Amino acid sequence: MLSPTLRTTLNIMSTIRTQMNLAAANRLSTVHRHLSTTSQVNKIEKLTVFGAGLMGAGIAQVGAQSGLKVILSDVTDKALENGLNIISKSLSRVAKKKSPDDIEGFTSNILKNIETTTDAAKAVQDSDLVIEAIIESIKVKRDLFGFLDEKAKAECIFASNTSSLSVKEIAESCSNDRQARFAGLHFFNPVPAMKLVEIIKTPQTSTETFEALKEVTLRMNKSPVSCNDTPGFIVNRLLVPYLLEAIRMVERGDATPEDIDTAMELGAGYPMGPFKLLDFVGLDTTSYIAQGWREKAQSGEISKELVEPIGLLDKLVKEGKLGRKSGQGFYEYDNKK
């Protein structure tokens, strides 16, 4: 026979146990809910690309070629027209090899997978993956992603094609859940021809997001590699200091752009010398990369000497001589061809 005091104590303990179990169950269900919202990703079928310039056009093209439904978005109809032009020219090159008897049929079949719009909200409403390839400015990228976070589905993955900015800093414009579905996806120029894609995981990027991005880049027939969120990732951390040093050589009067290009093509086996490559990438893009890195140099993330300002680069950019895309950079181009 239990004493009344002992019975009361046992009753209290049983009530506490029930409440503790309920609290634990609630905690568990919150963790499950959180895990399912942070990790759930859909198979990627619908891709939205922001920026219809050199890179965005190429990414939209390889997406469409791999069977994805693509929406290409930019701020003006003129920019979208420029993007479609880049895609059509490139597709006819691809078609000459893949379908020489029906170049037009091949091209129009791929183009059917690409829609265009200047309405950013509409562009993402049904998307599984957003790849941003707009101007290399942290503010402009953060503004765009902050806006898109409210408009896209919760499961949609966001990726930036930034060349050099911190992916984590861009991702922080979005909610915590989206940051788990946010990564860097760095393609190379010209996208249809270059096989590499760097996938950049931030500390917040979920494993499911990383795996989904790996899978979709393989579907695009690319070879993905992974890198931490560090200035320039792998390729640009090595390539951009080399390009900047080549401009300094010309500024010092050591050699001409033509001779430096010949030297690196014939002496080092590079497919393009540094000045052809600078014009190909865009002098504005290279200048934005160097500017962004100068801020990182203050915190010691990259050495200061690598990114010292270069008068000749700044002068050309100021004059609108941006390389191939503007018709003049270190060399002149006939863009009507």
Q: Which residue's entry shows tokens 């390729």?
A: 235
56 CB neighbour count, 10 Å cutoff: 27
* From 86-94, 119-127, 304-312, 322-330, span contacting ligand CAA (CB under 6 A): 86-94
Q: Report the site for ligand CAA in 217-256 (rule: CB under 6 A).
A: 235-236, 239
Q: 94 CB contacts (<8 Å, ≥6 apart)?
A: 65, 106, 192
Report the alpha-carbon distance of residue 154 to residue 169 in Å, rounded.
20
Rule CB under 6 A: say whether 271 interacts with ligand CAA. yes
Rule CB under 6 A: say whether 202 interacts with ligand NAD. no
Q: Supply 99's token pair.
A: 């379908």
- Number of residues interacting with ligand NAD: please give it, by CB under 6 A: 27
β pairing state of 157-160 and 69-73? unpaired
Binding-site member from 38, 66, 160, 163 for ligand CAA (CB under 6 A) = 163
274: preceding bond cis by omega (within 30 degrees): no
- Count helices and strands (H / E) in the chain: 14, 8
Binding-site member from 163, 179, 217, 326 for ligand NAD (CB under 6 A) = 163
Q: What's the DSSP call for residue 323?
A: B
Q: What's the DSSP call for residue 152?
A: S
Q: Supply 27's token pair.
A: 């905690």
Binding-site member from 44, 47, 54, 167 for ligand NAD (CB under 6 A) = 54
Catalytic residue list contains 32: no
Residue 133 interacts, among ligand NAD, ligand CAA, none and using kind-specific CB cut-offs from 5 to 8 Å, with ligand NAD
Catalytic residue list contains 198: yes
Query: CB of 242 within 8 A of CB of 268?
Result: no
Catalytic residue list contains 155: no
Annotated binding site: 51-56, 74, 90, 97, 136, 141, 163, 189, 325
Site of interaction with ligand NAD (CB under 6 A) = 50-56, 73-75, 79, 133-136, 140, 144, 161-163, 187-189, 281-282, 285, 325
Q: Which residues line the annotated binding site for CoA?
A: 90, 97, 163
Q: Which residues bind ligand CAA (CB under 6 A)?
A: 90, 93-94, 97, 163, 188-190, 192-194, 235-236, 239, 271-272, 277, 281, 285
